[in-house]
């Protein structure tokens, strides 16, 4: 049974690699805003006259913002929710109803292939970027922390995938999914810690945001890498991330079943 | 046992009535008004193994809705159906492995990859044993004459070649039932004929049952011995193709050739068509053929004559039109339903330019 999804993965990978030049260019373009970010934070630190903001030195802050890119490389799912909503609207959903195949598993295999193609082509430009920015880092974390970091990245892929699938399921109830996605995207940018580390916020805001699942899409793995989170805190974080992942897998399934009932009764 | 058995299938949609303008849209948020649209009403029929049946009807007649119910995409409001021994809308895997739905305007194949890659994917999805797969692919590519094209990206194929690949993909798992929605839409006459030939051949050798909708009478005449006509959600005809003319063709055409040219007052016997030189076609009511013929033979010198049925597509066009005139309010409702569905579902929408 798993064989067919492996096959989908392989076929998708072949298809995706047709576009590797696109990936390559897009990756470089993504680095440009980094220059403004670095200059901005430099100005903030100089302006504040302090060496540390809430425990973040200038070097650590830039390291965090660089590593955020790696988190997003795993957890961001461009076009997934919109694609699902389009499939529902245009009737491509039929493919999953007519063939002996599961929509979520199919999309997961497809997206997994997409990510592998992207990450392998983007590896070279990223290596170059991190080499140029090596002054901001204290080298790699210790092996146990590194293992936790990798586990967290892999889970952030699954979590990001299923959160986005849940958003896409909204397409069963309304045609105006674009606005929902826009709002979710804007909030996510802030609450997942892509703008700045969550623990830079004053209490109780930092703790409130850390109760939400979104921190695992960007903040948590990056904070682990730069050494802000380790030991038991890391273990607890990984368990919570796994729990949220399972929660969203289940939620996506429930929404899909409910959506299909509606689709079958109303004809779309 | 029948491949398809439909009993009193009915489907009623509740269609949300959108109000005009901003205020209307705002009002619609709080007071939703719905209109009930009876897309399919009380449709019953059986299809036996190996039959090729055409499903005809004007746009918005309910063909789409019926096909959707039979393939398990939607539930009926009332009535039952058993397809290949399964209730289709339960969507059991065992059921889904045994049929295929092919849509003339829909791509199942991966656009950027060669068709063979998509076929391999189908092999996995349907768990087809490798040997059987290899054999089926070579049989089908030979039948459809596309051996050399398997490794070309699908986007580089012509429309006809792509449709052949779509059909091959749909037949890889050897379905017992093939539902075809406009399989030859947009194709030139040669490609249409090839596809008709292949489908007929495949039906002969494999005994696969087919139910197809088409706007091309050529497809229907080439493939189907039996025809279902649906109009305004109701099944109005179920029988042989030739029976349509007997049942609905209220006129006949008398072809005449006169010794002294077409008499100018011929029009009082019936509707004169193509009256040129010595020959004329006269359209008359079925029941009055002999009476009119003897009057003409009495008065004029006729060199040659024959009595013919009007062409099938004319008869069918008339059947569709007459239905529309008898109950105009109903036809609006059907169009609305089909339009509404169209926004969700372009695949089976029947509003297509006829080419």
Cβ pair A11:B341 closer than 8 A: no
Cβ pair B120:A89 closer than 8 A: no
HSE of B55, CA atoms in CB hemisphere, 13 A:
28
Tell me what pLDDT residue B115 has.
93
| Cis peptide upstream of residue A204 (ω within 30 degrees of 0) | yes
Q: Which of B118, B121, B345 sits opposite A268 (nearest CB)?
A: B345
- The sign of the torsion formed by the CA atoms of B110, B111, B113, B119 equals positive
Q: State mean pLDDT over B247-258.
A: 85
Residues B264, B116 within the same domain? no
Residues B32, B135 within the same domain? yes
Say yes or no to pLDDT of A199 above 70. Answer: yes
Tell me what pLDDT residue B353 has.
37
Question: Contacts of residue B97 in chain A, CB cutoff 8 Å?
Answer: 100
Put simply, whether A257 touches B (Cβ < 8 Å) is no
Compute CA distances A265 → A17, A197, B13, B89, B281, whole Å: 40, 46, 8, 10, 52
Residue B28 domain-assigned (yes or no): yes
C-beta separation of A140 from A230 below 8 A: no
The boundaries of the domain holding residue A111 are 2-266
Residues B91, B119 within the same domain? yes
pTM: 0.79
Q: Rounded to an integer, what distance in angstroms lies between the CA atom of residue B265 and that of residue A55? A: 107
* Residue A188, number of CB atoms within 10 A of its CB: 22
Cβ pair B345:A99 closer than 8 A: no
| Cis peptide upstream of residue B253 (ω within 30 degrees of 0) | no
The boundaries of the domain holding residue B277 are 250-308
Q: Helix, strand or coil for residue B70?
A: helix
Put simply, whether A97 touches B (Cβ < 8 Å) is yes
Q: State mean pLDDT over A163-168.
A: 94
Residue B343 domain-assigned (yes or no): no
More confident residue, B147 or B351: B147
Cβ pair B124:A15 closer than 8 A: no
Tell me what pLDDT residue A140 has.
83
Nearest alpha carbon to residue A137 among A69, A228, A60: A60
Residue B317 domain-assigned (yes or no): no
Tell me what pLDDT residue B324 has.
56
Cβ pair A264:B13 closer than 8 A: no
Say yes or no to pLDDT of A146 above 90. Answer: yes
Residues B135, B78 within the same domain? yes
**Of A28-37, A206-215, B22-31, where does the model show the most confidence?**
A206-215
How high is the mean pLDDT of chain B? 83
Domain boundary among B202, B221, B245: B245
- The sign of the torsion formed by the CA atoms of B244, B249, B250, B254 equals negative
* A67-76, B24-33, B246-255: segment of lowest average pLDDT: B24-33
Residues B275, B190 within the same domain? no
* A24-38, A145-159, B133-147, B222-236: segment of lowest average pLDDT: A24-38
Distance between B125 CA and the closest CA of chain A, angstroms: 5
> Where is B100: in which H helix or E strand?
strand B99-103
Residue A51 per-residue DSSP state: S
- Interface predicted TM-score (ipTM) of this complex, two decimals: 0.71
Residues B111, B220 within the same domain? yes
Domain CATH number, residue B100: 3.40.50.300
Put simply, whether A42 touches B (Cβ < 8 Å) is no
Domain CATH number, residue B264: 3.30.70
Residues B176, B275 within the same domain? no
Nearest alpha carbon to residue A114 among A254, A6, A9: A9
C-beta separation of B154 from B115 below 8 A: yes
Put simply, whether A90 touches B (Cβ < 8 Å) is yes
Tell me what pLDDT residue A180 has.
84
Nearest alpha carbon to residue A206 among A218, A191, A195: A191
Say yes or no to pLDDT of A150 above 50. Answer: yes
Residue B311 per-residue DSSP state: P
**Of A26-35, A87-96, B83-92, where does the model show the most confidence?**
B83-92
Q: How many domains are contained in chain B?
A: 2
Distance between A121 CA and the closest CA of chain B, angstroms: 19
* Residue B26, number of CB atoms within 10 A of its CB: 10
Cβ pair B125:A100 closer than 8 A: yes
Residue B206 domain-assigned (yes or no): yes
Q: Rounded to an integer, what distance in angstroms lies between the CA atom of residue A131 and that of residue A137? A: 10
Cβ pair B112:A18 closer than 8 A: yes
How high is the mean pLDDT of chain A? 88
Domain boundary among B245, B275, B300: B245
Cβ-Cβ contacts under 8 Å for A187 (sequence gap 6 or more): A214
Could you identify the residue written with the tokens 């890498």?
A: A225
Put simply, whether A267 touches B (Cβ < 8 Å) is yes
Q: How many domains are contained in chain A?
A: 1
Residue B353 domain-assigned (yes or no): no
Residues B273, B233 within the same domain? no
Tell me what pLDDT residue B253 has.
87
- The sign of the torsion formed by the CA atoms of B20, B24, B25, B31 equals negative
The residue in chain B having the minimum alpha-carbon distance to the alpha carbon of residue A97 is B73
Question: Contacts of residue A92 in chain B, CB cutoff 8 Å?
Answer: 347
Q: State mean pLDDT over A184-210.
A: 87
Q: Write the pLDDT tens digit of every residue in B150-165.
A: 999 999 999 999 999 9
Residues B269, B136 within the same domain? no
pLDDT-above-70 percentage for chain B: 88
Residues B187, B221 within the same domain? yes
C-beta separation of B187 from B159 below 8 A: yes
Cβ pair B14:A266 closer than 8 A: yes
Residues B48, B191 within the same domain? yes
């Amino acid at each position: 049974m798993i064989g067919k999804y492996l096959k989908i993965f392989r076929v998708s990978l072949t298809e995706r690699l047709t576009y590797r030049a696109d990936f390559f260019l897009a990756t470089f373009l993504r680095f440009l805003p980094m220059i403004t970010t670095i200059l901005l934070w430099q100005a903030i630190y100089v302006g504040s006259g302090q060496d540390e903001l809430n425990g973040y030195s200038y070097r650590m802050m830039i390291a965090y913002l660089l590593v955020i890119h790696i988190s997003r490389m795993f957890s961001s799912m461009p076009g997934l929710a919109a694609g699902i909503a389009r499939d529902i609207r245009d009737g491509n959903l039929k493919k999953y109803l007519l063939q002996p195949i599961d929509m979520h598993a199919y999309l997961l295999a497809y997206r997994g292939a997409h990510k592998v193609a992207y990450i392998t082509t983007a590896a070279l430009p990223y290596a170059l970027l991190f080499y140029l920015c090596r002054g901001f880092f204290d080298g790699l974390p210790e092996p146990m922390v590194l293992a936790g970091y990798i586990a967290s990245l892999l889970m952030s892929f699954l979590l990001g995938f299923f959160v986005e699938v849940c958003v896409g399921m909204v397409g069963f109830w309304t045609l105006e999914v674009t606005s929902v996605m826009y709002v979710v995207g804007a909030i996510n940018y802030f609450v997942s810690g892509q703008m700045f580390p969550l623990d830079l916020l004053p209490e109780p805001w930092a703790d409130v945001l850390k109760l939400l699942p979104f921190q695992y899409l960007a903040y948590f793995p990056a904070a682990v890498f730069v050494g802000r989170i380790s030991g038991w805190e890391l273990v607890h974080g990984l368990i919570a991330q796994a729990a949220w992942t399972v929660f969203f897998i289940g939620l996506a399934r429930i929404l899909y079943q409910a959506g299909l009932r509606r689709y079958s009764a109303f004809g779309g | 046992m029948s491949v398809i058995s439909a009993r009193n299938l009915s489907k009623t949609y509740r269609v949300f009535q959108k109000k005009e303008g901003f205020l209307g849209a705002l009002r619609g948020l709080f007071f939703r008004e719905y209109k009930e649209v009876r897309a399919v009403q009380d449709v019953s029929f059986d299809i036996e193994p190996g039959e090729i049946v055409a499903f005809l009807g004007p746009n918005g007649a309910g063909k789409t809705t019926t096909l959707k119910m039979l393939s398990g995409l939607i539930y009926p409001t009332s009535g039952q159906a058993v397809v290949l021994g399964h209730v289709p809308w339960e969507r059991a895997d065992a059921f889904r492995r045994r049929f295929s739905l092919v849509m003339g305007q829909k791509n199942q194949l991966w656009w950027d990859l060669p068709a063979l890659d998509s076929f391999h994917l189908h092999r996995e999805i349907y768990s087809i044993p490798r040997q059987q797969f290899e054999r089926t692919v070579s049989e089908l590519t030979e039948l459809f004459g596309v051996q050399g094209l398997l490794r070309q990206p699908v986007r580089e194929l012509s429309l006809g070649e792509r449709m052949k690949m779509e059909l091959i993909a749909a037949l890889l798992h050897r379905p017992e039932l093939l539902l075809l929605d406009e399989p030859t839409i947009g194709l030139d006459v040669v490609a249409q004929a090839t596809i008709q030939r292949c489908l007929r051949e495949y039906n002969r050798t494999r005994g696969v049952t087919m139910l197809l909708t088409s706007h091309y009478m050529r497809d229907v005449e080439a493939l189907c011995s039996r025809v279902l006509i649906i109009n305004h959600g109701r099944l109005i005809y179920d029988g042989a193709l030739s029976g349509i003319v007997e049942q609905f063709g209220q006129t006949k055409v008398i072809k005449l050739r006169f010794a002294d040219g077409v008499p100018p007052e011929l029009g009082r016997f019936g509707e004169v068509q193509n009256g040129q030189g010595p020959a004329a076609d006269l359209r008359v009511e079925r029941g009055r053929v002999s009476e009119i013929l003897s009057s003409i033979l009495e008065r004029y010198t006729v060199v040659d004559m024959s009595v013919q049925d009007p062409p099938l597509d004319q008869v069918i066009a008339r059947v569709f039109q007459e239905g529309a005139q008898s109950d105009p309010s109903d036809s609006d409702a059907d169009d609305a339903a089909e339009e509404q569905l169209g926004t969700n579902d372009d695949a089976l929408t029947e509003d297509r330019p006829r080419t």
